[in-house]
């Protein structure tokens, strides 16, 4: 990966003129906070006694914390259900658009991508309004059909409702990643397969999907990271569904509440680090599995 | 396969408009179109709801069907006027803040990612491998996991509650760096740089005079994606800013919504809805107008495994 294109040039420090500014800011906003988190997680801060070294005490606490594991379980469930649905839909649309057999290809490509440009705040407010029984669409349907639909913001449905919002936001983005990858597959491959009498389904499974495996792995990793970081949608829906969304609904919401309502910065940093490590492990496993099966 | 071979294949295969030379026109399929249209309807319903709702008064919202106009009154223009003037015109202040964060944050991030990606692709320097390892590793670190220590550090520096607290963290985009690196590798031929060096041009002069033009589609792509990221940023300003005067639109809209849901707070759902519409229009317009660029730029980025 780290090879210079074309002819190898002699090594010199010149490149740092270009890379230096990025790395300077990167060190300030990425590396320093990571180091600071690790430092925080190893200390405790008490009203009496002040700041003192705590060893792995915070980590022990996190690993035994019911609230942390319930938050983790929730995003894990979200990951297992929402991510496959979203990526599957994205793949179907990408294949449909790439097939060249749609009427209005350009319209579909742009339309389905559009929600990506909508801020998570607006997307969540929008769906939050529509979920509402007062002046939302759910309320309209209830009135029109004289029925009572299950409340999308009730405790047992709210996670699915959030899944719907996230799917709406990112289906188009993932579709575009898949579509861009499909466009680079040489079409002569399909044509000779067609001449040999291969069915469309066979062409998809035998040629197209293997060809875009790299893109599928990347999209999966982004989605894994996104699921584990889930924050905006539940945080913004919280005023609408105060009983369904707790302060420890997701690990990020938990860390946020610990810091900014509880002033427990040391423990919040620990929770963030544990989540970061779990995320990296799972992203790494996805990458290994994705590249091995070739 | 060597990189040089790959990039030549790529440039042949990818024309930005979407109809490659090898693409034969096929017979359209009604079934497939209908199935895809279902997806498009799912995408459009919330946006349609937003457009219809922005034409309604606060009362009209409660009494009319969501996906059609309110028979009584067409209040779009009143709503826009009210949104822009409510609370001493705070919405315009938020819009100005958002523009500041976007211009400084996304502009700066694109500039840094472009020169760094160029440096990685075209120079060999001590520590190059380490830069790769660190930056690519950082992509896997959950961004929000950094937010708490970032907040504490900025608090110590006395920068919280100032625009710097939002702008500085926005300046780094590992994904943008990755895109620019892959893009430079295929768009700027080494021979061109060698020729410029033989002519005695300095590296920066060569970059700004020659390379920038070749990199334009990649730069537009990174710019668009960083604009979306900063325009839509919620978590970072949420923790960094307390003073409503520095809010971006996202935080401001959420504050209006929270106010509407609080007992005793003035309910201004119509302003939340109209404000939401005004917030997304500029970005949708930018994406529609520049689609030729970002579609080809993304394609370039997705090829490299």
Q: What is the CATH number of the domain that holds A103?
A: 1.10.3720.10
Predicted pLDDT at B142: 65
ipTM beyond 0.85? yes
> A33 at the B interface (CB within 8 A)?
yes
Contacts of A26 in chain B (CB under 8 A): 134-135, 138, 172, 174
> A222 at the B interface (CB within 8 A)?
no
**Nearest-CA distance B259 → chain A (Å):** 10
Contacts of A276 in chain B (CB under 8 A): 141-142, 145
Predicted pLDDT at B14: 41
Predicted pLDDT at A106: 86
Contacts of B303 in chain A (CB under 8 A): 181, 184
Predicted pLDDT at B135: 83
Q: Cα separation of A179 and A8, whole Å?
A: 34
Q: Which residue range(s) make up the domain with A226? A: 65-292
Q: Do A112 and B126 touch (CB under 8 A)?
A: no
The H or E element spanning position B53 is helix B30-53
Q: Do A184 and B168 touch (CB under 8 A)?
A: no
Residues of chain B where predicted confidence (pLDDT) is lower than 50? 1-23, 303-305
**Nearest residue on chain A to B54, alpha-carbon basis:** A126
Predicted pLDDT at B298: 63
Q: Do B232 and A28 touch (CB under 8 A)?
A: no
* Residues within 8 A of B (CB atoms), A 45-84 only: none
The three-point CA angle B141-B147-B150 to 5° equals 110
CB nearest B153 (choices: A32, A110, A255): A32
Which class is B79-303 in CATH? mainly alpha
* Residues within 8 A of B (CB atoms), A 141-180 only: 144, 168, 171-172, 176-177, 180
Q: Do A123 and B46 touch (CB under 8 A)?
A: yes
Predicted pLDDT at B7: 38
Residue B120 and residue B181 in contact, taking contact as beta carbons nearer than 8 Å: yes
Residue B175 and residue B143 in contact, taking contact as beta carbons nearer than 8 Å: no
Residue A224 and residue A282 in contact, taking contact as beta carbons nearer than 8 Å: yes
Predicted pLDDT at A293: 57
The H or E element spanning position A52 is strand A50-53
Q: Cα separation of A268 and A274, whole Å?
A: 10
> B240 at the A interface (CB within 8 A)?
no
> B198 at the A interface (CB within 8 A)?
no
Residues of chain A where predicted confidence (pLDDT) is lower than 50? 1-3, 5-8, 294
Residue with tokens 């994705």: A290
Helices (H), chain A: 15-26, 32-41, 57-63, 66-98, 105-113, 120-131, 137-145, 158-183, 187-195, 200-203, 209-211, 213-228, 232-237, 251-260, 265-292
Domain count, chain A: 1
Predicted pLDDT at B19: 44
Predicted pLDDT at B13: 39
Contacts of B156 in chain A (CB under 8 A): none
What are the boundaries of each domain within chain B?
A: 28-74, 79-303
DSSP annotation of B262 reads: S
CB nearest A19 (choices: B50, B61, B120): B120
- The secondary structure of B231-254, three-state, reads HCCCHHHHHHCCCHHHCCHHHHHH
Predicted pLDDT at B241: 94
Q: Do B124 and A21 touch (CB under 8 A)?
A: no
Q: Do A119 and B207 touch (CB under 8 A)?
A: no
């Amino acid at each position: 990966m780290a090879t210079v294109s074309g002819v190898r040039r002699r090594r010199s420090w010149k490149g740092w003129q270009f890379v230096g500014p990025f790395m300077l800011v990167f060190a300030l906003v990425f590396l320093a906070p990571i180091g600071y988190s690790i430092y925080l997680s190893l200390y405790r801060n008490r009203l009496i006694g002040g700041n003192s070294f705590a060893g792995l005490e915070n980590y022990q606490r996190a690993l035994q914390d019911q609230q942390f594991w319930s938050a983790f379980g929730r995003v894990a469930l979200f990951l297992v259900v929402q991510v496959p649905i979203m990526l599957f839909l994205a793949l179907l649309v990408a294949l449909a658009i790439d097939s060249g057999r749609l009427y209005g290809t350009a319209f579909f490509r742009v339309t389905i991508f559009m929600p990506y440009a909508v801020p998570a705040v607006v997307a969540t407010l929008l769906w939050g309004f529509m979920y509402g029984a007062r002046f939302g669409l759910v309320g309209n349907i209830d009135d029109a059909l004289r029925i009572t639909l299950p409340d999308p913001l009730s405790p047992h449905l709210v996670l699915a409702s959030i899944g719907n919002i996230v799917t709406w936001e990112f289906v188009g983005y993932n579709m575009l990643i898949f579509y861009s990858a499909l466009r680079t597959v040489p079409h002569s491959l399909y044509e000779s397969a067609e001449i040999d009498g291969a069915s469309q389904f066979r062409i998809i499974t035998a040629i197209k999907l293997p060809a875009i495996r790299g893109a599928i792995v990347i999209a999966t990793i982004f989605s894994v990271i996104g699921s584990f970081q889930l924050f905006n949608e539940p945080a913004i829906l919280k005023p609408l569904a105060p009983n369904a969304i707790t302060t420890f609904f997701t690990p990020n919401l938990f860390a946020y509440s610990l810091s900014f309502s509880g002033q427990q910065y040391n423990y919040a940093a620990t929770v963030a680090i544990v989540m970061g490590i779990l995320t990296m492990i799972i992203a790494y496993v996805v990458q290994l599995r994705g590249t091995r099966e070739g | 396969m060597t990189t040089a071979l790959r990039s030549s294949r790529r440039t042949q295969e990818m024309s930005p408009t979407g109809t490659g030379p090898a693409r034969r026109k096929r017979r359209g399929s009604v079934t497939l179109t209908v199935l895809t249209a279902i997806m498009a309807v799912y995408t459009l319903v919330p946006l349609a709801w937003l457009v219809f709702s922005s034409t309604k008064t606060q009362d009209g919202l409660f009494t009319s069907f969501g996906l059609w106009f309110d028979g009584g009154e067409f209040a779009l223009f009143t709503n826009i006027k009210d949104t822009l003037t409510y609370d001493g015109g705070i919405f315009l202040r938020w819009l100005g803040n958002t523009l500041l964060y976007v211009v400084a944050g996304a502009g700066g991030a694109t500039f840094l990612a472009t020169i760094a990606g160029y440096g990685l692709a075209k120079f060999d320097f001590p520590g190059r491998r380490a830069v790769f390892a660190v930056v690519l590793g950082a992509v896997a670190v959950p961004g929000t996991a950094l937010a708490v220590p970032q907040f504490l550090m900025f608090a110590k520096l006395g920068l919280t509650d100032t625009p710097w607290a939002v702008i500085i963290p926005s300046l780094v985009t590992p994904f943008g760096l990755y895109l620019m690196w892959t893009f430079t590798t295929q768009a700027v031929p080494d021979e061109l740089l060698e020729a410029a060096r033989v002519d005695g041009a300095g590296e920066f002069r060569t970059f700004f005079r020659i390379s920038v033009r070749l990199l334009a589609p990649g730069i537009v792509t990174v710019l668009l994606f960083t604009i979306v990221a900063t325009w839509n940023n919620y978590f970072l300003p949420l923790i960094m800013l307390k003073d409503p005067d520095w809010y971006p639109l996202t935080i401001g809209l959420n504050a209006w919504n929270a106010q509407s849901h609080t007992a005793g707070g003035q309910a201004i759902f119509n302003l939340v809805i109209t404000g939401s519409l005004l917030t997304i229009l500029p970005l949708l317009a930018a994406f529609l107008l520049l689609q030729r660029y970002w579609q080809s730029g993304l394609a370039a980025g997705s090829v490299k495994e």
